[in-house]
């Protein structure tokens, strides 16, 4: 089971830079109110909690069909719909395309060079295409879908649409065109969808067991179901980050896994946290990082830059492999490394960095992960999702909407010539003129 160590967040260890137990007690009413928002399902968007009860039969069947028939699998999606699957693949089947079949490609942007490159290395006829958008109106995903659809015209069997079970543009198209489909439950938003077919189909395709992901999530749900903030690791992380913002002005939380396989987990967490909590002038800025690598790029800033950050480490006990460092160059400046192992070194560096930050008065906490497998990945997903929802409620924010991203879409509609958006196009052209004089 994953754990949370908060020693280096607390005033007992950190002195004035830390949070007192009294402060945590002081927000007990808020914590209880947030707990009730969750348990009583006061707001729509909490459907991600029900995903643990999913029947994975159809997902497994769809994956089996892809594995048996196709050399490649392209996923079209953006935001959570791409980062969730990517996170699962990087964690459970690193370097997948150099080692295993079917090869997996995630096309998550509208960069023409990237799609060109993908199309140049595969035979589209031997490729399954998974298009993921709940509404079916996501411009980026639909644009690439339209391109691949035309190139595979007459082969509807190559497509799997993951979308709303009943409504929306893609559901309608998929029905008309005769695609296989998998559902994204109506009460599950894109950024909370990793444990729906959005993430579970790719998981099965790379050979991971989606039931294990759900079992991990289910066990974490049990562990995070009580109202006592001291015993609920997701609430405790949220409450401490909230207090660090309110009491100490620390508005950035850096997530630093010490494992290459969890690098994308940090990016996935950032999309979840940023889009859920960045509202009404509030919110915390999540920063994705990677240990040990970023000790050589970010650590200086965490140690001695502005005092506006909290560092959250992820420490992995068992890396699933180890390599001994041989006893060579004994008389050289790095002879001391010989006889140890890479796993020892990476974990020693993690512990050293924690301690360093603590000594410098920079608050940090550590999520402990026994090993990186489907079960513990499921735990991590659920842990971060429930922590995000809880923290939103602590702030009095709705963690399930994204009101500010709509306006940009309207300008894009205008520029792409969508009917009814002519005014928006004119506004962009006006702004362009204004900007012209400011170019160096």
Helix axis angle, 197-205 to 80-92, nearest 10°: 30
Among residues 246, 344, 409, 427, the one annotated as catalytic is 409
Q: Is 359 in the site for a copy of itself (CB under 8 A)?
A: yes
Tell me the window of 44-52, 209-217, 323-331, 373-381 that interacts with a copy of itself (CB under 8 A): 323-331
Cβ 344 to a copy of itself shortest distance, Å: 7
| Sheet with 72-76, edge to edge strand ranges | 103-107, 72-76, 127-132, 159-163, 180-183
Say how many C-beta atoms besides its own lie within 10 A of residue 202's C-beta.
Answer: 32
* DSSP codes of every residue in 96-142: HHHH-SSEEEEE-S--HHHHHHHHHSS-GGGEEEEEE-SSS--HHHH
Nearer to a copy of itself, 180 or 319 (CB): 319
Binding characters for a copy of itself, 413-432, by CB under 8 A (x = yes)? x-xxxxx-------xx--xx
Nearer to a copy of itself, 32 or 431 (CB): 431
Task: Find the binder of a copy of itself among 27, 33, 65, 110 (CB under 8 A).
Answer: 110
Task: Find the binder of a copy of itself among 42, 328, 422, 426 (CB under 8 A).
Answer: 328
Question: Is 99 annotated in the active site?
Answer: no
Task: Find the binder of a copy of itself among 29, 120, 178, 222 (CB under 8 A).
Answer: 120
Under rule CB under 8 A, which residues in 374-413 are in contact with a copy of itself? 402-405, 407-413
Q: Is 369 in the site for a copy of itself (CB under 8 A)?
A: no
Q: Is 207 in the site for a copy of itself (CB under 8 A)?
A: no
Q: Is 1 in the site for a copy of itself (CB under 8 A)?
A: no
Cβ 306 to a copy of itself shortest distance, Å: 5
Under rule CB under 8 A, which residues in 210-249 are in contact with a copy of itself? 230-233, 236
Phi/psi of residue 108, nearest 5 degrees: -115, 5
Nearer to a copy of itself, 54 or 232 (CB): 232
Under rule CB under 8 A, which residues in 10-49 are in contact with a copy of itself? 10, 13
How far does Cα 306 stand from its chain's mean position? 26
Q: Please state, in angstroms and as integers, the Cα–Cα distance from residue 236 to each residue in 14, 257, 390, following that order.
A: 17, 19, 10
What does the block give as tokens for 404? 């500010």
Under rule CB under 8 A, which residues in 285-304 are in contact with a copy of itself? 285, 287-288, 290-304
Question: Is 125 annotated in the active site?
Answer: no
Under rule CB under 8 A, which residues in 168-187 are in contact with a copy of itself? 169, 172-173
Nearer to a copy of itself, 211 or 381 (CB): 381
In whole angstroms, give the CA distance from residue 364 to residue 353: 10
Question: Is 296 annotated in the active site?
Answer: yes
Secondary structure (H, E, C), 205-231: HCCCCHHHHHHHHHHHHHHCCCCCCCC
Cβ 58 to a copy of itself shortest distance, Å: 25
In whole angstroms, give the CA distance from residue 356 to residue 351: 9
What does the block give as tokens for 311? 């560092």
Instruction: Please measure the distance between the N-terminal and C-terminal CA atoms of the chain and give it in whole angstroms.
Output: 55
Q: Is 137 in the site for a copy of itself (CB under 8 A)?
A: yes
Under rule CB under 8 A, which residues in 255-284 are in contact with a copy of itself? 259-261, 270-271, 274-275, 277-283
Q: Is 124 in the site for a copy of itself (CB under 8 A)?
A: no
Q: Is 97 in the site for a copy of itself (CB under 8 A)?
A: yes
Under rule CB under 8 A, which residues in 65-94 are in contact with a copy of itself? 78-80, 82-83, 94
Say how many C-beta atoms besides its own lie within 10 A of residue 142's C-beta.
Answer: 19
Binding residues for a copy of itself, rule CB under 8 A, total 153
Q: Which residues contact 290 (CB under 8 A, 6 or more apart)?
A: 256, 257, 258, 260, 263, 266
How far does Cα 181 stand from its chain's mean position? 24
In whole angstroms, give the CA distance from residue 77 to residue 84: 10
Nearer to a copy of itself, 32 or 355 (CB): 355
Cβ 76 to a copy of itself shortest distance, Å: 12
Task: Find the binder of a copy of itself among 15, 154, 306, 423 (CB under 8 A).
Answer: 306
Secondary structure (H, E, C), 278-340: CCCCCCCEEEECCCCHHHHCCHHHHHHCCCCEEEEEEEEEECCCCCECCCCCCCCCCHHHCCC
Among residues 108, 204, 275, 385, the one annotated as catalytic is 275
Q: Which residues are catalytic?
A: 275, 296, 409
């Amino acid at each position: 089971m994953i754990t949370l160590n908060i020693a280096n967040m607390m005033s007992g260890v950190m002195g004035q830079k830390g949070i007192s137990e009294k402060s945590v007690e002081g927000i007990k009413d808020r914590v209880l109110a947030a707990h009730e928002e969750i348990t009583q399902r006061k707001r729509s968007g909490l459907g991600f909690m029900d995903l643990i009860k999913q029947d994975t039969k159809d997902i497994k069947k769809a994956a089996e069909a892809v594995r048996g028939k196709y050399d490649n699998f392209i996923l079209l999606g953006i935001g959570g719909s791409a980062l969730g699957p990517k996170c699962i693949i990087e964690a459970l089947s690193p370097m997948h395309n150099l080692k295993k079949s079917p090869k997996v490609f995630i096309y998550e942007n509208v960069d023409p060079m990237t799609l060109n490159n993908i199309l140049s290395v595969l035979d589209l006829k031997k490729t399954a295409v998974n298009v993921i958008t709940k509404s079916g109106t996501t411009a980026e995903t639909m644009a690439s879908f339209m391109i691949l659809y035309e190139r595979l015209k007459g082969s509807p069997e190559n497509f799997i649409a993951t979308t709303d079970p009943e409504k929306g543009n893609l559901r309608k198209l998929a029905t008309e065109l005769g695609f296989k489909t998998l559902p994204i439950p109506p009460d599950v938003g894109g950024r909370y969808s990793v444990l729906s077919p959005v993430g579970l189909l790719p998981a099965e395709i790379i050979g991971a067991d989606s039931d294990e992901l759900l079992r991990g999530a289910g066990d974490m749900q049990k562990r995070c179901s009580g109202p006592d903030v001291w015993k609920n690791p997701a609430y405790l992380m949220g409450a401490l980050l909230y207090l660090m913002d309110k009491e100490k002005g620390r508005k950035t939380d850096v997530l630093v896994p010490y494992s290459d396989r969890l690098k994308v987990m940090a990016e996935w967490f950032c999309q979840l946290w940023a889009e859920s909590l960045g509202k009404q002038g509030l919110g915390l800025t999540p920063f994705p990082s990677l240990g040990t690598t970023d000790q050589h790029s970010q650590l200086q800033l965490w140690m001695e830059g502005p005092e506006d950050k909290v560092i959250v480490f992820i420490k992995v006990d068992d890396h699933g492999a180890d390599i001994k460092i041989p006893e060579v160059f004994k008389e050289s400046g790095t002879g001391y490394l010989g006889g140890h192992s890479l796993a020892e070194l990476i974990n020693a560096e993690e512990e050293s960095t924690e301690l360093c930050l603590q000594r410098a008065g920079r608050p940090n906490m550590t999520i402990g992960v026994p090993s990186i497998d489907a079960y513990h990945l499921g735990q991590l997903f659920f842990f971060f999702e429930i922590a995000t929802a809880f923290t939103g409620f602590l702030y009095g924010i709705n963690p399930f909407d994204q009101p500010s991203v709509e306006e940009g879409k309207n300008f894009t509609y205008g520029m792409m010539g969508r009917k009814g958006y002519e005014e928006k196009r004119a506004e962009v052209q006006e702004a362009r003129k204004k900007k012209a004089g400011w170019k160096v």
